[in-house]
Amino acid sequence: MNVMGLQVPVNRWLRQLVFGVVACWLALSCQSNGSGEPEPVNTSFYLKSLTLNGVFSGYDYKGINAAPVIRVTFSSPFRQSSVEGAVVFENNYSAPVSVRLTYENNDSTLVIKPASALSYLSKYTVTVNTSLKSKAGVDLPSPVTINLMTAIDSTNKYPVIPDDELLTLVQKQTFNYFWGFGHPVSGMARERNTSGDIVTSGGTGFGIMAIPVAIERKFITRSDGLARMQKIVGFLKNKANRFHGAYSHWLNGSSGVVVPFGEKDNGADIVETSYLMMGLLTARQYFDGAGTEETTLRDDINALWNGVEWDWFRRDGGNVLYWNWSPDYAWAVNVPVQGWNECLITYILAASSTTHGIPKSVYDNGFARNGAIVNNGTFYNIKLPLGQSYGGPLFFEQYTFLGINPFGLSDAYANYQEQVVNHTKINYEYCKANPRQYFGYSRDCWGLTASDIPNGYTASSPTNDVGVIAPTAAISSLPYTPDESMQALRFFYYKLGDRIWGQYGFTDAFSMHSIWFADSYLAIDQGPQIGMIENYRTGLLWKLFMSCPEVQAGLTKLGFTYKL
């Protein structure tokens, strides 16, 4: 036979033709899935591409909308009958989410959509597991898991009110922590909302400072405020354990007996005592009436104040104060009080004491560390006079300055207005820049300080950033960064209010990055909000505390210049 000019024997040509037809038939038969449809020869089956709302950015997506569209494309078509059991869409509590599934690209692309809108600021997981099969019957070799986190709901959670009214609302609601939730026997502030009978000396000092604010704002009457002060001072005078005139960090609010703060910390805490004394002296200046009740209150406060043996905490006359002393373990805790940190008030009050005062050398050598507190570095083009790089947690600039006015305050080491303002601005700029890419940080949502965190507590700062924002950080900075702090306060209240606003004001902390919202309130975080808002509005606490003649003398002794 002649085929296209070639001579091929007829028998050989027929044998090749028959062999080719049979081979094609066998191949088609082997690749059938039982439905009579042929399948591709290629038996590999794997993930080829993935997009969420048309974009691929790995397998973790944050800030997504409530109706995302997920497209998962495979290397070859899949069996539709295997899809339903292979796709699992769950929320953060492993509860199933209903989905709508559609197919594209000749069953090579699986389109996954939630059947209804997802909740905002919530976590979800979408998994395509290995039970998905190709049309050739090949299992997906490994699961495809996509982690989703929805965006914040930008709608206002409460009606918009003037800023002045909002500030009053925050002060009033937060004051409930110290007033309605104050310990029924001692009147002191509980450490936190789950502390039961445990009260805190430092947090009580902050709560005491809130009482004049509440009276002036007409949240309570002067007589009610006086009665609460009499209860607190009477308890401190007659029941609470004291050690060389100083109080422990924690006390039992009914008995006054020390509750140990640590294994060997069951005695005096001179730093917590300084916050308590700052509050008592502020109250002494406020309750200045000539009547018997207010006169007696002042006398009792003076007795407590003059009884603190600040010089004892020099530990045998040294040039530094030590934080703790225990009747059982003496100086075993062995922590010197050195700066820059929240303890400037401790040295100012120790120098201010007319009965147990310290000389300037203890401040210079102890707190100032012979000048080692000075930084003068630049961060985000902002000069930082004192302290660690980036400034540390913001409570450094808040606790002391509830009473001490930093505006116009300076000494050999710093201009303290520059210190408190610049430290706060650095914290703000860090959160705005968000170098660690934590979801939720922005010019509206900022503030790193000591607070609760998931499964613990830490002093958050730019160098110890775990993705947790504490409302007290920005709110208590209002005198220093009024625009930035007010912007944050509005955001916390209007945008996150359904998550973090409660019976005692803003809860302690939250993380939009990990979708965690504390349900805790802490005295040392609630108190500064009330006081610093008032210092921003009227300067009330600064005026009261700075009017103490002993404090003025102490500041002068330490080499400070200041304005009243």
What is the DSSP annotation of 383-397?
EEEESSGGG--GGGG
Please give the backbone phi and psi of residue 169, each rounded to the nearest 5 degrees, phi first.
-60, -45
Q: How far apart are CA 169 and CA 163, in angstroms?
A: 10
* Burial class of residue 500 in the structure, from the number of CB atoms within 10 Å of its CB (0-12 exposed, 13-18 middle, 19+ buried): buried
Q: Identify whether the C-beta of residue 128 lies closer than 8 Å to the C-beta of residue 72.
A: yes
Residue type, position 437, single letter: Q
Q: What angle do CA 275, 294, 183 make, to 5 degrees?
A: 50
What gap in Å lies between CA 512 and CA 415, rounded to an integer?
A: 36
463-490 in b/e burial notation, b at 16+ Cβ within 10 A? eebebbbbbbbbbbbbbbbeebbbbbbe
382, 386, 389, 395: CA torsion to nearest 10: -100
Q: How do 6-7 and 501-502 pair as beta strands?
A: unpaired
- Helix 270-286 with 222-238: angle, nearest 10 deg: 140
What six digits make up the tokens of 72? 């998962």
Environment class of 157 (CB within 10 Å of its CB; exposed 0-12, middle 13-18, buried 19+): middle
pTM recorded for the entire structure: 0.90
Measured distance between the N- and C-terminal CA atoms of the chain, rounded to whole angstroms: 120
Q: How far apart are CA 402 and CA 345, in angstroms?
A: 10
Q: In this structure, what are the phi and psi dihedrals at residue 511, rounded to the nearest 5 degrees?
A: -135, 115
Report the alpha-carbon distance of residue 278 to residue 280 in Å, rounded: 6
The total of other beta-carbon atoms located within 10 Å of residue 299's CB is: 11
pLDDT value at residue 504: 98
Which residue's structure tokens are 């794997």? 46
Per-residue tens of pLDDT for the chain, all 564 residues = 433 333 333 343 334 433 343 333 333 344 444 444 444 445 699 999 999 999 999 999 999 999 999 999 999 999 999 999 999 999 998 999 999 999 999 999 999 999 999 999 999 999 999 999 999 999 999 999 999 999 999 999 999 999 999 999 999 999 999 999 999 999 999 999 999 999 999 999 999 999 999 999 999 999 999 999 999 999 999 999 999 999 999 999 999 999 999 999 999 999 999 999 999 999 999 999 999 999 999 999 999 999 999 999 999 999 999 999 999 999 999 999 999 999 999 999 999 999 999 999 999 999 999 999 999 999 999 999 999 999 999 999 999 999 999 999 999 999 999 999 999 999 999 999 999 999 999 999 999 999 999 999 999 999 999 999 999 999 999 999 999 999 999 999 999 999 999 999 999 999 999 999 999 999 999 999 999 999 999 999 999 999 999 999 999 999 999 998
Token pair belonging to 145: 């898991």
pLDDT of residue 41: 47
Amino acid at 238: N
**Dihedral-angle region of residue 142 (phi above 0 means left; psi in -120 to 50 means alpha; beta otherwise):** beta
Tokens representing 122 are 């919530």
Nearest to 452 by CA among 432, 469, 464, 465: 469
Residue whose C-alpha is closest to residue 344's, from 313, 321, 372: 321
Count other C-beta atoms under 10 Å from residue 335's C-beta. 12
The sign one gets for the Cα dihedral 488, 503, 398, 281 is positive
Tokens of 183: 């310990």
Task: State in words which class domain 163-557 has.
Answer: mainly alpha
- At residue 42, the pLDDT reads 53
Which strands form 109-114's sheet, in the order they lie side by side?
47-52, 70-74, 109-114, 99-104
C-alpha angle with apex 529: 279 to 217, nearest 5 degrees?
A: 75
* CA dihedral sign, ordered 457, 213, 284, 184: negative
Radius of gyration of the chain, Cα coordinates, nearest whole angstrom: 34
**CA–CA dist 535, 330 (Å, integer):** 39
Please return the burial class of 75, using the count of CB atoms within 10 Å of its CB with bins 0-12, 13-18 and 19+: middle
Tally the residues of the chain. 564
Q: How many helices and strands in the chain, by DSSP H and E? A: 16, 22
Local structure of 110: helix, strand or coil: strand
Question: How would you class 525 by CB atoms within 10 Å of its CB: exposed for 0-12, middle for 13-18, buried for 19 or more?
Answer: buried
Task: Write down the architecture of domain 47-150 according to CATH.
Answer: Sandwich (2.60)
Task: Please report, as a single letter, which amino acid is at residue 271.
Answer: V
SS3 label, residue 535: helix
Q: What is the pLDDT of residue 447?
A: 98
Q: Alpha helices, DSSP H only, in 287-327?
A: 292-307
Pick the closest to residue 246 from 264, 226, 265, 224 (CA basis). 265
Strands, E, within 390-504: which ranges?
A: 450-453, 456-459, 501-502
